């Protein structure tokens, strides 16, 4: 690569000072590797009131901070972080969640995989549970059907030995937990769709660019570890109450949001087919809720 590798690591956060401190420590503790890399933490603080700003000033004074008004949520926070990275002359973006951890060679590993895949490539990270024994939380998507059903390489929450993970695989979409983008991708395709306020904007963006021939890959070498309990209020795997589930369906900021589900489906499959897909998705959410509740407790 001719130009220096300068990465803006964009981390949206809201009232998670302790977990934010952990991921920033992971970034700070990256070991020098085979590539000359500068990584700038860009923390998008969307109205936090838990001492986040004071912690950043005291312990991470070199982090670039973007101040949200409390109503940006995930997608606008990512977009404002990308804009900040542009002003910092970064030529790469790494999107991260504030509940992640990773090893001290993570940045060098994901950059190496990008260089292997090619200068236009977008590389996502395999996501595992932070707790042991490790479980898969995102392994990449091998196929997407006409009804937007995704077929993962490995079943979500299946147990896995990290010794069996290596290499790169094409993935039609990526999870936002550790995506390395060349900045030129955003120059060409624009930023994340802010109508997808909290969930699915990274899925939408990577699905769009993979459809335009951009190599979108999942790295099994670059691993991030996710605190599952800190994400996805209303998600079935967190065993919500019926009231919480119904509230999540009505809430446009929720993973189960009817608004989000219908908008995404119509965007990618058209008005009629997309609306039918959204109805099928909602029926599936309710079905899975019932199955979880009926599952015998150990």
Confidence of residue 2 (pLDDT cuts 50, 70, 90): low
Residues 114 and 134 in one domain: yes
Token pair, residue 1, equals 């690569």
- Check which CATH number belongs to the domain holding 130 and give it: 3.90.550.60
Residues 25 and 170 in one domain: yes
Residues 270 and 214 in one domain: no
Number of domains composing the chain: 2
Residues 266 and 218 in one domain: no
Average pLDDT, the chain: 93
pLDDT number for residue 267: 97
CA neighbor of 268 nearest in space, from 174, 171, 203 = 203
- Residue span of the structural domain in which 289 resides: 236-294
Which of residues 203, 230, 257 is at a domain's end?
Answer: 230
Lowest mean per-residue pLDDT among 124-138, 143-157, 223-237: 223-237
> With 80 as the cut, is the pLDDT of residue 202 above it?
yes
Residues 208 and 185 in one domain: yes
Residues 206 and 240 in one domain: no
Residues 181 and 255 in one domain: no
Specify the pTM.
0.92
Confidence of residue 1 (pLDDT cuts 50, 70, 90): very low
């Amino acid at each position: 690569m001719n130009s220096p590798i300068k990465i803006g690591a964009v981390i949206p956060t809201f009232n998670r000072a302790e977990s934010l401190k952990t991921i920033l420590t992971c970034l700070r503790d990256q070991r020098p590797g085979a590539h000359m890399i500068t990584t700038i933490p860009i923390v998008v603080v969307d109205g936090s009131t838990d001492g986040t700003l004071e912690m950043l000033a005291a312990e991470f004074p070199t982090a670039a901070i973007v101040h949200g008004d409390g109503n940006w949520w995930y997608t606008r926070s990512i977009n404002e972080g990308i804009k900040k990275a542009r002003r910092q002359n970064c030529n790469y973006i790494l999107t991260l969640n504030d509940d992640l951890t990773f090893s001290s060679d993570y940045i060098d590993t994901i950059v190496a995989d990008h260089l292997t895949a090619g200068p236009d490539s977008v590389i996502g990270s395999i996501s595992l549970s932070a707790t042991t024994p490790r479980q898969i939380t995102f392994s990449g998507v091998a196929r997407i059907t006409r009804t937007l059903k995704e077929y993962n390489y490995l079943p979500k929450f299946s147990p896995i030995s990290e010794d069996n993970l290596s290499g790169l695989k094409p993935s039609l979409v990526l999870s936002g937990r550790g995506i390395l983008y060349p900045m030129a991708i955003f120059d060409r395709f624009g930023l994340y769709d802010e109508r997808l306020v909290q969930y699915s904007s990274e899925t939408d963006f990577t699905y769009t660019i993979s459809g335009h021939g951009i190599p979108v890959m999942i790295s099994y070498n670059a691993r991030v570890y996710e605190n599952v309990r800190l994400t996805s209020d209303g998600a079935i795997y967190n065993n919500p109450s019926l009231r919480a589930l119904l509230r999540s369906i009505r809430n446009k900021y929720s993973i189960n949001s009817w608004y989000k589900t219908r908008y995404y489906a119509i965007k990618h499959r058209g008005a009629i087919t997309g609306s039918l897909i959204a109805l099928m998705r909602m029926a599936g959410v309710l079905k899975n809720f019932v199955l979880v509740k009926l599952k015998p407790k150990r």
